[in-house]
Amino acid sequence: MAERMGSRILGIAVHENAISRPGYALLNAVTVYAGNPSRPGYGNLLQFVNLFGKSDSGEGVLYRASRDNGKTWREIDVFDLPYRVGHGRDMMRKIAGDCMYDEDSRALIRIVTEMLWQNGEIHSLFRKRRMYYCLSFDNGATWTDAIYMHQNEEGYDRDRMFPGITYGVNMVTSLFKMHKIRGDGPNKGKLAVSIQVQIAGADGDIYNPTGMGFFKSGCLLGSWNEEKLQYDWEACDMYAEVTPEESTRGVYEPVIQELDDGTLIMVLRGSNMKRPDIPGTKFISVSRDQGRTWNRPVRLTYEDGQPMYSSSSSPDLVQDKQGRIYFVGIITDGNPNGNMPRYPLCIAELNKDTLSIVRDSVTVIDSRRPWHTAQREVEAARYDVDYSNHHAYLDAAESSIVVHAPYRADLHSIESVINRYELQLPD
Query: Looking at residue 44, which CATH number applies to its domain?
Result: 2.120.10.10
Domain annotation covers residue 366: no
Domain annotation covers residue 274: yes
Residue type, 372: H
Distance (Å) of CA 259 to CA 211, 283, 318, 410: 36, 17, 12, 39
pLDDT score recorded for residue 265: 99
Domain annotation covers residue 91: yes
Domain annotation covers residue 234: yes
Judging by DSSP bridges, how do beta strands 356-357 and 191-198 pair with one another? unpaired
Judging by DSSP bridges, how do beta strands 400-407 and 417-424 pair with one another? antiparallel
Question: What's 315's DSSP letter?
Answer: -
pLDDT score recorded for residue 203: 80
pLDDT score recorded for residue 5: 44
Q: What gap in Å lies between CA 171 and CA 197, rounded to an integer?
A: 6
Contact 323, 367 (CB under 8 A): no
Number of domains comprising the chain:
1
Structural domain of residue 162, as residue ranges? Answer: 27-316
Domain annotation covers residue 65: yes
Domain annotation covers residue 346: no
Distance of CA 135 to the CA centre of its chain: 20
Domain annotation covers residue 130: yes
Rounded to two decimals, what is the model's pTM? 0.95
Domain annotation covers residue 216: yes
Half-sphere exposure of 325 (CA within 13 A, CB side): 21
pLDDT in tens, the chain (427 residues): 334 344 489 999 999 999 999 999 999 999 999 999 999 999 999 999 999 998 778 999 999 999 999 999 999 999 999 999 998 899 999 999 999 999 999 999 999 999 999 998 888 999 999 999 999 999 999 999 999 999 999 999 999 999 999 999 999 999 989 999 999 999 999 999 999 999 998 788 899 999 899 999 999 999 999 999 999 999 999 999 999 999 999 999 999 999 999 999 999 999 999 999 999 999 999 999 999 999 999 999 999 999 999 999 999 999 999 999 999 999 999 999 999 999 999 999 999 999 999 999 999 999 998 877 766 666 655 568 999 999 999 999 999 999 999 999 988 889 999 999 999 998 8
Q: What gap in Å lies between CA 30 and CA 316, rounded to an integer?
A: 12
